[in-house]
Amino acid sequence: MAMEIIVVGCGRVGAELVTRLWRRGNRVSVVDHDAAAFAYLPPDFVGQTVEGDPLNQDVLERAGIKRAEALAAVLESDAENVVVGHIARSVYHVPNVVVRNYDPRWQTFHQVFGLQVVSPTIWGAQRIEELIYHNSLRTVFSAGNGEVEIYEFIVPPSWDGRRLTELLPEGQCVAAAVTRAGRALLPGCDTVLETGDVVNLSATLEGVQLLHARLVAAPEEV
């Protein structure tokens, strides 16, 4: 179902977000201080563009904030993102407000206002750190009391060209996603692994122990 969405900030991230939301059929308005920023949008974009100070309520109203169902504040300034998000929530009662955080030192300030916060700086640093360390298996989520957990592992060279179903213990592991060169896909029975693929799967403790043994063994020994 199409939504009325406002994106405040039309830098590279904002323009990419606008494009994704618009291509999914949503009615999108984008606000920026500088009209030149709208050049980041695709040539065929037919949503609304509003030039002006996003801290000015008249500008936000021209963008349709009174009827907006969601607003994303992705300006380069953390302070502006907080203020815009707070105005959207407290003055216009926009039901879903998300703000971007650049400087991790500001994140607590964002959270004080009860806003949903996305920090590419923190997420990116954490993700890179995980990939640097990449133990053979890493827990990313625990369900219930730990009976089933979500794990992540990187495919070693010894399993390059082999099918995912050959690696996973039947009935004990279920693959959820395979990420290759930064792009995730839903794996199927015939998915062929490549060195460096990141695999996410749910598994029991017994299943992950069997999987670990297979990862460190040569495929012909499995």
pLDDT tens per residue, the chain (222 residues)? 889 999 999 999 999 999 999 999 999 999 999 999 999 999 999 999 999 999 999 999 999 999 999 999 999 999 999 999 999 999 999 999 999 988 888 777 767 777 888 888 887 887 677 567 646 788 888 777 677 889 899 999 999 999 999 999 888 899 999 999 889 999 987 899 999 999 999 988 888 889 988 888 766 665
CATH of 4-122, one of 3.40.50.720, 2.40.30.10, 3.40.50.620, 3.10.290.10: 3.40.50.720
pLDDT reported for residue 205? 82
Q: Would you give the DSSP letter of residue 182?
A: T
pLDDT reported for residue 21? 97
pLDDT reported for residue 114? 79
pLDDT reported for residue 135? 62
pLDDT reported for residue 218? 62
3-state secondary structure 112-181: HCCCEEECHHHHHHHHHHHHHHCCCCEEEEEECCCCEEEEEEECCHHHCCCEHHHHCCCCCEEEEEEEEC
SS3 of residue 205 by DSSP: helix
Pick the closest to residue 77 from 53, 95, 46 (CA basis): 53
- Where along the chain do its domains lie? 4-122, 134-221
Return the CATH number of the domain spanning residue range 134-221. Answer: 3.30.70.1450
